[in-house]
Amino acid sequence: MRTAPTTSRRGLTSRWGRIAVGAAVVAVAAMLPLLAIDIPGVLPGPTYTPGTLTVLAYAMLIAALALSYHLIFGVAGMLSFGHAMFFAAGAYGLGIVLRLLAPTGIPSEAVFLLAIVITLVIALVLGNLVGALALRVSGISFAMVTLAIAQAMNVMIRRNVGGLTGGEEGVTLTVDVVPDWLVGVVNTRNLYWLALAILVGVYLACAWVERSRLGHVVAAARENELRVTVLGLRPYLVRLFLFSTAAVLAAVAGMGFMLLQSSATPRISTSDFTLTLLVIVVLGGVGYRWGAIVGGIVYTLLDQRLAALASSDAIAGLPDVLRIPLSEPLFILGMLFVLVVMFAPGGIVGLAHRVTRRRGGSRDAREPAVLQDMEA
Amino acid sequence: MTAILTVRGLDARIGGQQVVEDVSLDVAEHGVTALLGRNGVGKSSTIKALLGLTERTGVVTFAGERIDGLLTHRIVQRGIAYVPEDREVFGGLTVEENLRLAERAGAPNRAIIAELFPELLERAKQQAGTLSGGQQQMVSLSRALMNENRLLLVDEPTKGLAPRIVGTVTTALEAAAERTPMLLVEQNLQVVRALAHTVVVLSGGRVVHTGPATAFLDSDLVHRHLGVSTDQEAA
Amino acid sequence: MTTVLLLLITGVGLGALYFLVASGLSLIYGLMGVLNFAHGSFLTLAGFLGWEVGRRVGDGSWAGLLVGMLVGLVVGALVAAITELVFIRALYERHIEQVLVTVGLGLASVALFEGIWGTDPIQIRLPEWLGQTTDVLGANIPNDRWLLIGSAALVLVLIVLFLQRTSYGLVIRAGVENRTMVTALGIDVRRAFTVVFAIGGAAAGLGGVLASVYYGQVGAHQGTSLLIYAFIVTVIGGLGSLSGAAIASVLVAVIQQFANFYLGGTGDLAVVLALAAVLLVRPTGLMGKVTH
């Protein structure tokens, strides 16, 4: 579908070429904790330091989350405003189940594995329930239902319903039942590798789903519902499968987040957090898997660096008219997003494609098909 | 005869799907040009594309001016009136409101409504959604005909109407065609015979035949392109 | 009985606030097919500016409040119209992009408000009468609810008159039904877009000032949290229907009040369940138009 144009199935654009590039990127990413690369202005410090590794690990988890959102928004063309709830389900689920199981006397390794499995099951059930309800409507109504459900979840988490979620304080990780190699600042590089593994895993899962028959059916249903129905498939069930798959993948990223941050707060279940995902996917390029990853990493790093910039002396000395907007990262990111939507609808990856294709002499990049289809 | 509207290489897409492909046709300065073809062949889409109601590419020239890049309301303001398939009256508005909305700059001729469809005046305060199909078509035609037009685009005006109303509609169109050139999409070949002097036939989104109306309607081309034989016309 | 009456009237008061936000959302969606995520920001900005001007005129006085409400109306209308002209119009007929732009504007503007007025809400002073209660058949109704109900009713009447009596109103009513056909009659429907944005913005702006009366404070997140309820109201009422928005506003707020009181603070959950129920039974909402 969205593979390279047939005219240039050679070199880096062929399938094996791209697998090689992907493997090389992963290998370089895996080596970072062993190296001392310092990119001032982009990273907070050299790549082996825990601070930098934490930022990078966080960026990769957000990228993984964005990838799972890409399945719903970019592939199926469904605008969900509730995706953050599955990320929160992963983070909160792992934290709560670990805390509940910790005093039972089961060996800690078993507790850890069991907690992961239980959390995945919770995410699967939640994904199917929410999807089953929300997918009965489509378009803007679907967006509203997901928004409303996510909002209700957020309220329940904040209110500490059943004494499980800890209200505004959130949930902290019960470290005694977590394997030692994932605990503490000294093990940050292990957490980094875990985050990388999660990102790669989610990427492969998304690639597999997109290339499977189901993925093609969902993409086709986005363009023409009737055609799929004629093929004897029920778009509802296919979409539900995709929705719950994305929910589980988001929960996986959420679990990684819990292990990395050692705590979860209601912030990760807000609709604003889902809107951030939307921003990331569009910023990176709607419809491209790489777009979600690039968007996730660029967004997180920008967010971090803009926050650092906000508290810098250079900004503090400016007059209010400049100082106030520049010291609000979300303001700058929001306006950047608006500009991308208005002037570069293909996002970062779309721009890159346009540049490389023009150089290759072929026709200019397509507009993101998803955006057109959703309007039809 | 010179053309008021020329179309060259028109492509149209709806929801990413191509519905009109490389259509070229002329609409004469006088009289009725009928656009014919089987169901789903792209007749209505062609008219919509001319008006900018679908995505389109190609060259459309109206009275010497390119209009293929203009927004719909600007095209209409140049004096092109549209009578859509399925009438598309505003059901929640009254008849009077429907008509008021359609008044363009210039001198709208309300008298023509009294002349052609007097029963509409009695129903001025009625919600258009509660009218019969025939009455709705009268509203739709009035919206177009009461303005100063230089071209009429009329899409299936007799579709689904009772025979008596078909007669009324045909008479109204005949009168309009004496003053204003018209591009007409019509399935009822008797109506085509009564009104059109030229036919353009579409098949598979392309033009396959252009020529005088009567000659076409009397030939076996009717059967080949429209799937009906001439003596079935009445159907 | 007095409790029921109290909950009912306070519910209608909250519903009035929802309506001020939802009326514009619904009209904008109905005419343009755009769900406006920046609507909450119109409300917040108007709330802040209304308060800033009002307290300079007379902090805690009626004059200050009334001037504040007027400022809210004007700010809401202006900001909304500018948003439409600068951001929405450039993406004419590209609905998803239009929604995305409003999402970006919503996020960015809230951050900007935080930068200017701080992250914590600011307590405000109000005329004394608003803090008192009136006895209605034994129920002590907070007086600010009367202001909310009265303002929303006035806005409803004005919008209806505008829609019924003016030529723009005619274009808007027709456009909500069938926008394409309006353009095919030679009407530049984009002008109606700006008008609808301005009207919706004015209502939301007034809502912003009244929200600060209702909550006793102004804050950067006030608009966003009201926006979510307004979305729910809009969907339950039927996207594009003004009367639907009015009915659903009251319905949602009353349900919320009763569930909060009788079912142990489950108001938000009850609202979501109501939304789910309505969408499952009538996906187009209570008064939704049939799509063609």
Whether the Cβ atoms of residue C76 and residue C47 lie closer than 8 Å to each other: no
Looking at CA atoms only, how far is residue C126 from chain B in angstroms? Answer: 44
Q: How confident is the model at residue C140 (pLDDT cuts 50, 70, 90)?
A: confident
C271: which chain A residues are within 8 Å (Cβ-Cβ)? 148, 152
Count how many residues are written for chain B.
Answer: 235
| CB neighbour list of residue C183: distance below 8 Å, 6 or more residues apart | B53, B71, B72, B73, B76, C189
CB atoms within 10 A of CB B15: 13
Looking at CA atoms only, how far is residue B72 from chain C in angstroms? Answer: 6
- Domain hosting A209: range is 6-375
Q: CATH number, domain at A138?
A: 1.10.3470
pTM summary value: 0.85
What value does the mean pLDDT take over residues B65-80?
94
Q: A46 in a domain, yes or no?
A: yes
Would you state the torsion angle of the CA atoms of residues C247, C248, C250, C251, taken in this order, to the nearest 10 degrees?
Answer: 110
Nearest CA in chain A to B54: A376
Tokens at A354, concatenated: 């346009």
Cα separation values, A85 from A148, A242, A272, A273, C279, Å: 11, 16, 11, 9, 21
Whether A147 has its CB under 8 Å from any CB of chain C: the answer is yes
Determine which of A206-210, B210-214, C203-207, C280-284 has the lowest per-residue pLDDT on average: C280-284
> What pLDDT is recorded for position A374?
47
What value does the mean pLDDT take over residues A108-116?
90
Residues A65-100: b if buried by 16+ CB within 10 A, e if exposed? bbbbbbbbbbbbbbbbbbbbbbbbbbbbbbbbbbbe
pLDDT one-digit tens code per residue, B6-29: 999 999 988 777 888 889 999 999
Tokens at A198, concatenated: 């999660």
Q: How confident is the model at residue C70 (pLDDT cuts 50, 70, 90)?
A: very high
Q: Is the pLDDT of residue A9 over 80?
A: no
Whose CA is closest to B88, among B29, B40, B137, B19? B137
**CA–CA dist B203, A246 (Å, integer):** 45
Whether B70 has its CB under 8 Å from any CB of chain C: the answer is no
Looking at CA atoms only, how far is residue B76 from chain C in angstroms? Answer: 5
> Could you name the CATH architecture of B3-89+149-232?
3-Layer(aba) Sandwich (3.40)
Q: Is the pLDDT of residue B231 over 90?
A: no
A146: which chain C residues are within 8 Å (Cβ-Cβ)? none
What value does the mean pLDDT take over residues C31-39?
90
A369: which chain B residues are within 8 Å (Cβ-Cβ)? 16
* Domain spans, chain B: 3-89+149-232
Whether the Cβ atoms of residue B111 and residue B149 lie closer than 8 Å to each other: no
Interface test with A, best of C83, C234, C272 (most A CBs within 10 A): C272
Q: A196 in a domain, yes or no?
A: yes
Q: Is the CB of B53 less than 8 angstroms away from the CB of C180?
A: yes
pLDDT one-digit tens code per residue, A197-211: 999 999 999 999 988
Interface test with B, best of C181, C182, C241 (most B CBs within 10 A): C181
Q: Give chain A's domain count.
A: 1
pLDDT one-digit tens code per residue, A121-157: 999 999 999 999 888 887 777 888 898 888 888 888 9
Q: A1 in a domain, yes or no?
A: no
